Every structure is written in structure tokens, then in C-alpha cells.
Chain A
């Protein structure tokens, strides 16, 4: 049916890709090769695989929990908090089974270590909307083991059998006598106990906190400026550093024309050449930045004989030319999904529709610019404070760079000031190797901050998306064949260095394996390399492919004179989950009406619908638009999301709203344009992101169908651009096939 099942383990969809590797094989080879693209150096993890029983991630309670005398709990989270609410969700999940109130938890990001490989019990990544769904049972079990340890400690203390005890939040109760022992007083003894790890879990019917909108644990600190991020880290004796990157990736600094003058500027400690950059270290960052920007640097072209883990940016590269090239490319097609006989069906079709759709490169534009602090210690160890979505991967690479063993590198993972896929291990987009080199050079700790301009120059981008679509319709206007050719590269194979001799699932996700019953389908990728750093962006391939497919769907519906909502419903016949979802979003919006129609305020409006199946969840989105003063106005966006079942409805809703904002931002405004090998925009003035006055009311309905748990952080994105574009196309009376919509003239078609 399809060839998407893959053993290339990117940081996405792992729950959908069972990993049937032995532990030894996993640790010895595959982890490094597939996840990292970097060989795993010999270290404690591998040693453990060879010697004695390996650590079963998520079972050693003291690695995760510190129960303090007052009963408050410190939880080491395997996942990094960056706004998605994972610290709170982890406290809920662990607290539920432990019988400890999540509001008594404080949560920090755990250091690297084998205990924390809780993603399907095999690895540790914060991404792919995977955290809760891939660790849910394991983290519940951790809480249950902790509870058992506390019960055992109480049994020992009281000299009674376990069966005579029960727990209430924060305490063990002796049933017969009513005597209570607080967790805080039991903890010192409990944490030394060895108990069975196959403890039973609660019945969901008995849940006290899971499924409830427990308040987020980080909100108070984030509302008062107390939350600290990588950029806020301060260590004794540190110096501050700023960089100027080569204007094109691959270029190297040659002459520094005014080094002496810059070196003499107030506060400047030293001037440095780094791979692909120059840096100034100073007593203050502002001085370092002023100085490094004053540096007059002659850059030399990339040495073609040097091997690099990233492409060299050609001096003549432009994103417009790449788009033309993709549209015209006709290389070998790698089939991702083939069903039926597309050629035959297309030949017999009463009508054939063809169109090319495109979406641009997109920047992460998270509000916190990258910052990293490196400190080499007298004992030979290294401390790193670095924004990251994968501490062990950063640890291994930092160790390799420093010539240390991984266990000599302590990776601290502060709160992320937004991430959206920005903080995976992208070789050309990392501040920490520069911080390490500078710290080594000056013999003191160094905090390096990239200016916003340097970040826009070196961000790893969401890939440009182009699809050539062709659909065949029967005499009644119903689609009988669909062909989609996807030229270009996907992010997963690029980041994980997988050769493109088969389709990258992240290039075609959202186009292949759509749920619509079109009997003949062929979806293929045509590899075309991008000379740009590409990586993961919130909802990955779905984020552009949702637009590309679901807008062509409406074009196909129009060609067959079908209502796009009714056609979706018809093509989902027999799929109870998606039929219910589609009807639900229509209901939420007050009933499907496409328009154009005149609203009560006199404005002409239209609505668009789109569906997406990202990260194990199902989403349907409706948007209502009008045009006023040559600007697209969003009136409302309605989203129905079915993630199977949820841990915290308020956080799910907040994530959907946030994803809608990101999706809308890409629909309306965002586009990274390269000319002459350089990005045109270096700050938000040239790269606008969604401002508050363009955020419409968002209405969210969560459906818990009971299906296997899906992701939450990303799935709200992909439905928004097509829902908006479909509405606008209806309003204007002509198809819009390119993003962002700010490029589209907003005059209505004469027809």
C-alpha cells in the first residue's frame, strides 16, 4: 500500500515506526547512525550494553524524584520545556500514579543519562509532538514505582503488611488505625529501597489529575520575569562573546583589516577567528557586539576540498531560481504511495485537473536568540548551558569536539525561549561549539549570544515545498485518480544524513497516505538538493504539505463542481473517526457555509476547510476571511482536534491556539528569500511574523475518540494555511496556489 514505513529514525513519528532492534544493536550502531548521523563514541551507554543489565529507562526513581521534607517534589524531566507545557504534563502523569499533587512539583530538565531515554524506552528527544504519547505508560509506571517505595517504607516503619496501607495525596495511611505518614518523612528511607517495577497502574476511572486542566507550573515565573533561559545564564568569571558569521555558509575569514583598532575598543578582551565566523570576547555583550560588527573582515570562498557536514552556499543562489528549478524538475521519481492504476484511471477520466502549488522557506524566528555558555573546569570536565531538544546528542558532540568522554560533559538544558524545531543538532546553526572554542582560547567561561541578525543568517530553515498535482475526475465530477510529484528534499533525511534513494517521509507527509478514498493514487518524491540548511519546523512536512494538498483538493472539487466540505465527507465515508471530526468542526463553526456571503457588518466573507493527520492526531480546521483595505482579515478560526485522549485539556487548547498562530503567520506573511546567496531579511522588520492585531478568535474543540494517543504541540499548524487559502480563493473567485498570501493581489476575479 505504501512504502513509508522506514527504519530511518528521525526525531519524528517514532511511535508509528516500531523499533525492532536489540538494545545492544541500538546502542552500538543504529542510534548514532540514524538519529544523529554521527558515530556514537565509546562511552558509558555502550559500556552498559556490554556489561550487566542495562538501565531500564524510567524505572530508577531517585534519578527522577527528590521528595523533600515538606512533601514538595523535584522532578527531573526527560523533556525540555519550551512553552508546550511538558513540565506540567510530566508532573501530572508522575503525580497521578505516585499520588502526589502536581502543584507541589517543581520540574527541571534532567541532565543527559540513560535513565532518561524514555521515548518508547529507547531515546530522548523533545520534538515530533512525541513527549507524552511515547512516554506515557513509562512515566506513569515511574510514579507507581515511587508510590510503591513510599508504601514499602511506611510498611517497614509501622511493621505492617503493605495490604494494610493505602495512599492519599502526599501521604501513606494505615487503614485500620488512620495513622498517617507524610511522603516527606518517608522519602529518605523510601529512596533507598528496591521494589518490584512491574507495579500495576491506576484505572483511568480513578484518575485525579490526568485529564484535568491542571494549572501550568511555570506560569507565575514567566509572568514576573523570574524564568531563566540560556541567554540569562551567568557563571562566575565569565566573559561575553558576539560573532559575525560569514555572509555565505562555507566562506571563511581571511584578513581582519582593523583588528588592532577593534581590539583596543573599550571592554574588548580579544578578537578570534572561528570556522565560518569571527568573534569578539569582551566584558559585556553589548561591547562584544559593537566590536565584532566594527570588524572589517575579508571573507574567502569555501575550500572545495574540505569536507563539511553542511552544503556550501553558492554565491548565485536565489530562492526564486530554486523554485523555478523545482517546478521544472523531472528526475527519477521515488514512489512514496502507489494505489491502483493512476495512469489507466487518468486516461479514462472525464476531466483532468493539473496545478503546481508552492510554499517558501520559513525561519523559526523564536524570540530567544541562540545563546550558549561554556565553562572548562579544573578537573577536566566541561559545563555547557545550551538550548537543545536532545541533551545526549549535544553531549556526545560536545565531547567529541572537546576531546572528552561524554560523561565529562555536563549539559544543562534551560527553558527554551521558543523552539518550534530550532534546537535540534543542526551543524551550521549551533552557538555552543563557538562558545566552547572561545572559552578554551581565553581560559575563562564564555557566554556567547547571537544577535538577531546573525540568527537569521544561520537558522536552519523549513524547506521550500513545491508539488505538481494532477487529478482525474469521473463524469459526475468525483476524483478517481490523484498524482502528486514532490520535487526537493525533506528535512529528516537531510538532518540524519540518509541518502535520498527512497522517499523521505517528511518530504511527502501530508500528501501521501491521506485518508480520502480516491481509488487510484501515486505520490512520489523527485530528489533535488537544496543548497540551504533545512531542518524541522513545527509540524515538519505537514506544515507546508497541508497547504499544498488541501488547497489542490479544493481546486479539484471546484473542477468537478463539488462542494469541498461535502466532497471530503463523501471521500471519508466509512471512516467514523474522521467523519465525526469533520462534522464536529462544521458544528463548532455554526454549520458549514462556504460563501461568499455578506456578513451582518456588510463585509463579504467566505470560509475554507482543511484536514490534516499529523503526529497521530486528526485535525479539521475552518477559517473565515474577508478583504478590507487590500488586507486579508481573519474573522474566526475553528479547530476540532482528536488526539485520542488527553492529559491536560487546557494545555492542548493552548497548543492548538499557538499552532494556529504559527500556521496563520506562515499563511499570511512569512517567507525567507535568498538572493545572491544571502537571506534578504535579517530581523523582524524584513521578516514579519504574525502580530497581535492579526490574530483572530480561535475556537477549539477537543475530541477524545479513545484512539491511540496522538501528538498535541504541532498538529494544529497544517490545517490553517489551506483553510485560509481556500476561503480566500472562494472569496476572490480564483485559486491561490502560492504562499505567503501577502504576495497575492486581493482583487476579485472578473468572473
Chain B
């Protein structure tokens, strides 16, 4: 099938039910998107599909045929993405960093849809798990972009 990722078209030959996560990681060799749970519990695998936040570990690749998938690898090609990354650095958000690709993508999806979310909108959108509990810093970074 044909897969659009980060503005590029890829021909892939996999079982149609293969999770998008593993197509991104194994067929395309882009490892910024992480496997954490495989059950849409943690959000480490968060990507954008047609601009909306999605958990790629439970997204069958066949369901994204014709859609535009955006991964962390393309985050800095987007003006909102650049702002989010800058805010992540300003706030020194990551610790182990493993969940942060997903956190950044969730923030970018939120801020592209709603450039100035309020506190409760941030809380509702930023639901990915972080075992290092960098939640205070994540919230501060999103708020920084929201208010900019």
C-alpha cells in the first residue's frame, strides 16, 4: 500500500492490520515514535493523522491509507512544532525522554487545533503518561506556547 508520512509517499508491503507504530519504526526506520504499552494506555506512540492526535500502536496501517501522517521527525518543519520544541527546551521538560516524542506531538496537535487553550483544555489534551512525572514542566511548556 501507499503511505503518506511527513509529506513523503512510501510504498510498503505489510499485513494490513499491522499497527502504524511498527510500520513507522520497522519499515521506515524512524525510531522517534516509541513503543510503550501497545494498548493506547501510555501515549509514547503519539503521532498526528490528518492533524489530529492518534496513538499509532493501536492504529492499523490500512486505516491511514490516503491520510497524512506526521511523526516527531517532522516536528521542526512546522511553525507550531518549532514553538513547542523551543518551549520544551526552555522548560527543560524531558528527563529520561522516552515519552517525550509523544508528549510533544500531543502538544503540537492541541496547539494547531487551538492556538490558545485554557488550563482545562490543556489538562484534557495532555493525557500521555510520563514515568519520570515531568507533568509540571509539560504543562508549563504548553502554557508558554498557548500564551505566546
Contacts and interface: CB of A to CB of B under 8 A. Distances in A.
B96 A417 contact: yes
Nearest to A685: B41
Given A219-B92, A284-B22, A684-B41, A695 B100 contact: no
Interface residues of A, number: 60
Contact of B97 (A222, A286, A654, A662): A222
Interface in A661-688: 661-662, 664-665, 683-685
A367 B98 contact: yes
Nearest to A650: B92
Interface in B129-148: 129-139
B99 interface: yes
Interface string A451-469: 1100000000000000000
Contact of A691 (B26, B36, B129, B139): B129
Contact of B131 (A216, A223, A366, A697): A366
Interface of B: 14-15, 18-19, 22, 26-27, 29-39, 41-42, 44, 71-73, 75-76, 85, 88-89, 92-101, 104, 123, 126-139
A14 to B, nearest CB: 24
A45 to B, nearest CB: 30
Contacts of A683: 37-39, 41
6 contacts: A84-B95, A224-B104, A240-B26, A367-B99, A368-B34, A417-B34
A232 B97 CA distance: 13
Contacts, number: 168
B22 A219 contact: no
Contacts of B75: 224-225
Contact of A222 (B26, B38, B76, B100): B100
Interface in A525-580: none
B89 to A, nearest CB: 5
A471 B85 CA distance: 54
Contacts of A224: 32, 72, 75-76, 85, 101, 104
B12 to A, nearest CB: 11
B133 A658 contact: yes
Interface centre among B30, B31, B138 (most CB of A within 10 A): B31
| Chain B interface SS verdict (over half) | loop
Nearest to B30: A225
B37 A662 contact: no
Given A418-B98, A689-B131, A692-B135, A231 B32 contact: no
A222 B72 CA distance: 10
B133 A661 contact: yes
Residue among A216, A286, A650 with the highest chain B CB neighbour number at 10 A: A286
Interface in A608-664: 650, 654, 657-658, 660-662, 664
Most A C-beta atoms less than 10 A away, residue of B19, B42, B92, B131: B131
A451 B38 contact: yes
A508 to B, nearest CB: 27
Q: Which 8 A-B pairs have the closest CB atoms?
A: A661-B133, A225-B32, A222-B97, A83-B96, A417-B98, A83-B95, A225-B72, A222-B94
B132 A286 contact: no
Nearest to B87: A223
Contacts of A31: none
Contact of A692 (B31, B32, B128): B128
Nearest to A286: B22
A219 B93 contact: yes
Contact of B123 (A82, A365, A692): A692
Contact of B34 (A367, A419, A654, A685): A367
A82 B96 contact: yes
A63 interface: no
A367 B96 contact: yes
Contacts of A266: 15
Given A216-B92, A231-B31, 4 more contacts: A224-B101, A665-B133, A692-B130, A692-B138
Nearest to B99: A367
A449 B85 contact: no
A223 B104 contact: yes
Contacts of B132: 83, 418, 658, 661
A301 B134 CA distance: 43
Contact of B26 (A228, A286, A657, A662): A286
Contacts of A226: 32
Contact of A367 (B27, B44, B88): B44
B18 A366 contact: no
Contacts of A665: 133
A232 B25 CA distance: 8
Contacts of B76: 224
Given A366-B96, A452-B38, A684 B19 contact: no
A219 B94 contact: yes
Given A224-B75, A658-B95, A219 B89 contact: yes
A369 B15 CA distance: 24
A367 B36 contact: yes
A206 to B, nearest CB: 26
Interface string A417-441: 1111000000000000000000000
A728 B90 CA distance: 36
A698 interface: yes
A379 B32 CA distance: 33
A367 B131 contact: yes
A691 B126 CA distance: 10
A449 B35 contact: yes
A501 interface: no
A693 B101 CA distance: 19
Contact of A234 (B19, B29, B93): B29
Nearest to A284: B26
A417 B97 contact: yes
A664 B133 CA distance: 10
Contacts of B29: 234
A412 to B, nearest CB: 16
A203 B89 CA distance: 31
B131 to A, nearest CB: 5
